[in-house]
């Protein structure tokens, strides 16, 4: 799939990107996901809404955006388009 935009930052705003890669969740959970199936399961069980920042006054990146960033940074994982198609079908893709 052809990619548009910056292939290093994936067009994610710099403060959000820094908060993602510096977050404990990203380091301890997201980076340990090595297969597409693990990523989909983590999204299914951990993501309850999709917004860039955690709710409330916290300035941490949301679980959804940590996982989204992980999916585009890993060549061995399927594309984001495939991920979205999978979610539209059912959990067990």
Instruction: Say if residues 54 and 60 touch (Cβ distance below 8 Å).
Output: yes
Cα end-to-end span (Å), the chain: 20
Q: Residues 6 or more apart from 34 whose CB is under 8 A from it?
A: 76
Beta carbons of 64 and 23 less than 8 angstroms apart: no
R_g of the chain computed on alpha carbons: 13
Angle 45-37-60 from CA coordinates, rounded to 5°? 45
Q: Is the pLDDT score of 67 beyond 70?
A: yes
Cβ contact 20:26 at 8 Å:
yes
What is the reported pTM? 0.72
Q: What is the mean pLDDT of residues 37-50?
A: 89
Residue by residue, DSSP assigns 72-85 as HH-TTSPPHHHHHH
- Tens-digit pLDDT profile for residues 8-34: 777 788 888 999 999 999 999 999 998
The residue ranges of every structural domain in the chain are 14-89
């Amino acid at each position: 799939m052809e990619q548009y935009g910056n292939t290093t930052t994936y067009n994610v705003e710099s403060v959000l990107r820094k908060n993602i890669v510096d977050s404990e969740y990203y380091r301890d959970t997201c980076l340990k996901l090595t297969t597409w199936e693990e990523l989909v399961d983590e999204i299914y069980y951990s993501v309850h809404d999709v917004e860039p920042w955690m709710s409330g006054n916290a300035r941490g990146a949301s679980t959804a955006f940590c996982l989204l960033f992980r999916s585009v940074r890993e060549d061995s994982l399927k594309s984001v388009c495939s991920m979205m198609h999978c979610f539209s079908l059912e959990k067990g893709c």
